[in-house]
Amino acid sequence: MLKDKVIDRLAEAAEPICADRSRCLRMRFNRSECSQCTGVCRSNAIRVQDDVSIDFRLCSKCMLCVSACPSDCFDIKGFDFLSVLAKVKKIRDSGVVPVLGCNMKPSVQAHVTTPCLGFLSLEHLLALSVIPEATVHINMTECGDCKNDFIADKVRETAGSLKVVIIKEKKDLGYLDIPYGRREFFSAVKNLAFLQAAEIFESNDPDMTSKAYSAKKVPLKRDLLNRVFVFLNGKGNDLLKGCYYTIKLSRGCNNCFACVGMCPGGALQIGRADDNSDSYLSFNSSLCNGCGLCRDFCFKDAVHIEKGFAGPNPFEFVPLSPCPLSPDP
CATH number for position 41: 3.30.70.20
Do residues 98 and 176 share a domain?
Answer: yes
Do residues 160 and 117 share a domain?
Answer: yes
Do residues 92 and 12 share a domain?
Answer: no
Do residues 228 and 178 share a domain?
Answer: no
Percentage above 70 pLDDT, the chain: 82
Domain residue limits at 123: 81-200
Do residues 104 and 191 share a domain?
Answer: yes
Quick check: is 279 in a domain?
Answer: yes
Look at residue 206 in the predicted model and tell me its pLDDT.
Answer: 38
Do residues 142 and 164 share a domain?
Answer: yes
d(CA 250, CA 278): 18
- Is 167 within 8 Å of 141 (Cβ atoms)? yes
Count of structural domains, the chain: 3
Do residues 90 and 193 share a domain?
Answer: yes
Mark which of 54, 76, 98 sits at the end of a domain: 76
Do residues 178 and 148 share a domain?
Answer: yes
Mark which of 15, 49, 76 sits at the end of a domain: 76
Percentage above 90 pLDDT, the chain: 63
Quick check: is 140 in a domain?
Answer: yes
Look at residue 10 in the predicted model and tell me its pLDDT.
Answer: 42
Q: What is the pTM of this model?
A: 0.84
Quick check: is 111 in a domain?
Answer: yes
Quick check: is 209 in a domain?
Answer: no
Do residues 176 and 245 share a domain?
Answer: no
Kindly tell me the burial class for residue 297, based on how many C-beta atoms sit within 10 Å of its own C-beta (0-12, 13-18, 19 or more). Answer: middle
Nearest in space to 23 (alpha carbons), one of 89, 90, 70: 70
Q: What is the pLDDT of residues 52-101, one digit of tens each?
A: 999 999 999 999 999 999 999 999 999 999 999 999 988 988 888 999 99
Mark which of 60, 76, 92 sits at the end of a domain: 76
- List the end-to-end C-alpha distance of the chain, in Å, as a whole number: 55
Q: What is the pLDDT of residues 143-195, one digit of tens each?
A: 999 999 999 999 999 998 898 999 999 999 988 888 655 555 555 555 444 44
- Is 65 within 8 Å of 74 (Cβ atoms)? yes
Residue 2 has pLDDT above 80, yes or no: no
